Amino acid sequence: MTAPAPKPSAADRWAMMTFVVVTLLGALLLFLVQPLISKAILPWFGGCPAVWTTCLLFFQTLLFAGYLYAHLLQRWCSPRRQAAVHLAIAVVAMAMLPIGPTAGWRPTDDSLPSLRILWLLLATVGLPYFALSATSPLVQTWFSVRRPGRSPYRLYAVSNFGSLAALLCYPIVFEPAFDLPAQSRLWSGAFAFYAVLCAAILLGLVRDPAAGVSPASLQPSGDVPAVRWRDRMSWLALPALASWMLVAGTNHLCQDVAVVPFLWVLPLTLYLLSFIICFDHARWYVRWLWAVAVAVELIGVAACDHLKNTLQPLPLAEELILNGAAIFFVCMVCHGELARRKPDARRLTEFYLIIAAGGALGGLLVGLVAPLVFSSYWEWPIGMVLSVLLAIALLTWPGPGGKKLLIRMATASIFAAAGLGVVLHWELQWERTLDRARNFFGVVSVTESDRDDPAEHVLYLKHGRIVHGCQFTDPVKRRWPTVYYGADSGVDRAVGYSQRRGPIRIGAIGLGIGTVAAYARPGDALRFYEINPEVIRLARDRFRYLADCRGRCEIVPGDARLSLEREPPQRFDILVVDAFSGDAIPTHLLTREAFELYRRHLAPDGILAIHVSNNYLRLGPVVRRAAESCGLKSTQVSGKKNHNRRTEFSTWVLATSNDDFLRRHPSEAPADASAPLWTDQYSNLFQILAARPGEGE
């Protein structure tokens, strides 16, 4: 009869608890810091989706560096020395606390934004993140020394649970409950506790004689099965494709909604969840089932994205489900195939190191290479094509049963023909593309329609698939204000009222094609603020509003808030804020601090005109609340749709201290006392979500 195992002592139980807590805490902090620090720097770089893409690239690359550090440390140092080195790094990293960039890191110009973000992150959060990224493999090694014969992979499950919990908790708990300074303090305090736990583990290893043994003597006896280079290439390529779809899919979502942590965290959560499921047990990954799911889902996504160019957009929930499922299914296939290719346990550190390299490679290709190579967002459809091809390859993989193979090949051929046809048709538009450019701030293009009819020939400026301005080429019609600036729009009412008193001074945040210049009369002065140099180029080279302006017109390149903060009061009679990127909103232009800055630049009776039209978000109450917080009264008005003049329905909030103007233009929307007040340190997208597209403003 086997004797019962001795009960662990209190010291052993305490040591075990320490291993669990430090693993859980390390994973929580590792994934909480990503949306926290990214949101903190978002306003400094125009609030565009590329900010998160660049941040994600940084975190993926540093995660690879952490895995490499852990791998080398385990090969060269005894467990005791490993813990000592890691504790030293954690203590040095505490000198960077509290995390979060100070005002001194704010950029003074808009050159090289990606490199500036990478350097800023490295200097402010690089060392703490590097220490955290090595936690899981190192702690599992130390646990194996302290508890020989016990599997350390429970700690791997604990790490995955902590990572997933962090991603879910940030948009649901931390972001709504705490502003950014409070989040930074809480995170920094938790990191200090993490360092204390590392010290406790080191103390236990110092007392354990086995912890001083060299790594070579700890290796199990027996030959380690050889690993082929094609296996290593699959370890690299599969996570690279999953990472490609993660980053490209996140960018795809943010372009048309808002650049907010929830839309960053959702795809990352699905990515991590697929990794957890696939490495939990082989039964969860059925190759043919997930391969078919990828092919069907990606065809649906491509078809819906194509139809959205001409039809009403999907409800936000359906949009998230459709694109989220595409990311999840592709990641399931990639990570499922990785799990099938796991090497001998003695090769696991190399395995995980190459996986981390693949993740960093995918992020690098989408975050840095794609903007340099492509003039449009081709990485999303390219990722879809590669994913469909992978699904086809898996469906036709040689296996038992010729009949089953023929059925799979026929199915795969249908999916391939339909999927590739839809994807290749993706970029085809009814209009002819005349010019297209891509940079850090997005993709802008100039298209035309009705070119065979000179009286109806129109040029469009698009950001992504959203129209940001259009102009007739007919010499008479080209002076007409179009799209969101037509009759009864907010700008039309503000300009019509102000020009009764003589020449006026207009400021505009967001140039577009310069449509506001159509309202200028001799003696008027216009000052545009535009962050995207390609928009400035296209407005000057392809459109005529600026050239035909009858007033004095100037353009200030760079971020509007940074420019306005540096300038003396401009005394604008009208300040127009219309700086949407795609259909996404730059939240840093709708905060209380932004409105205080706007008011400083308004004339005493000046009018602040904010464009709030949005498919998914009810921006009107937020804007009116921000105006109220800085002492302005507001009214909400709508512009009319007129196809002959190419104007669209639009919603504007006009804020001013001019009671006469407000009396002449009563609000078309009721006051909302429960409207949230956004600040630079706090904003919450969930508070203003519309139920369906078009139910925003």
Of the CA atoms within 13 Å of residue 448, those in its CB half-sphere come to: 14
Q: How high is the pLDDT of residue 523?
A: 94
Give the chain's residues under pLDDT 70: 1-15, 146, 148-154, 208-226, 255-262, 303, 305-316, 344-349, 397-431, 465, 580-585, 686, 689-697
- Helix 316-340 crosses helix 379-395 at what angle (to 10 degrees)? 50
178: left (phi over 0), alpha (psi -120 to 50) or beta: beta
CA–CA dist 588, 575 (Å, integer): 16
Write the burial class of residue 694 (CB in 10 Å: 0-12 exposed, 13-18 middle, 19+ buried). middle
CA dihedral 198, 202, 203, 205 (to 10 degrees): 140
- Predicted confidence at residue 319, as pLDDT, reads 76
Task: Please name the residues in contact with 188: beta carbons below 8 A apart, sequence gap of 6 or more.
Answer: 97, 98, 99
Q: For 107, phi and psi rounded to 5 degrees?
A: -65, 145
| Token pair listed for 610 | 């904010």
Cβ-in-10-Å burial (0-12, 13-18, 19+) of 465 comes to middle
pLDDT at 430: 43
Q: Which residues pair with 525 in a beta bridge?
A: 505, 552
DSSP state of 431: S
The answer for residues whose C-beta is within 8 angstroms of residue 643's C-beta and 6 or more apart is none
277-294 core/surface letters (b: 16 or more CB in 10 A; e: else): bbbeeeeebebeebbbbb
Do the bridges between strand 602-611 and strand 572-577 make them parallel or antiparallel, or are there none, so unpaired?
Answer: parallel
Q: How many other CB atoms are found less than 10 A from the CB of residue 673?
A: 7
Q: How far apart are CA 198 and CA 86, in angstroms?
A: 8
pTM here is 0.78
* Residues 259 and 49 sit within 8 Å (Cβ to Cβ): yes
CA-wise closest residue to 330 among 378, 373, 273: 273
Query: How much is the pLDDT for 409?
Result: 57
Helices assigned H by DSSP within 6-112: 10-41, 50-76, 79-93
Domains and CATH numbers, the chain: 10-211 (1.20.1250), 248-341+375-428 (no CATH), 484-688 (3.40.50.150)
Strands 442-449 and 432-439 come out as: antiparallel
Report pLDDT digits (tens) over 617-663: 788 888 999 999 999 999 999 988 998 999 988 999 999 999 999 99
Crossing angle between the packed helical segments 50-76 and 10-41, to the nearest 10 degrees: 150
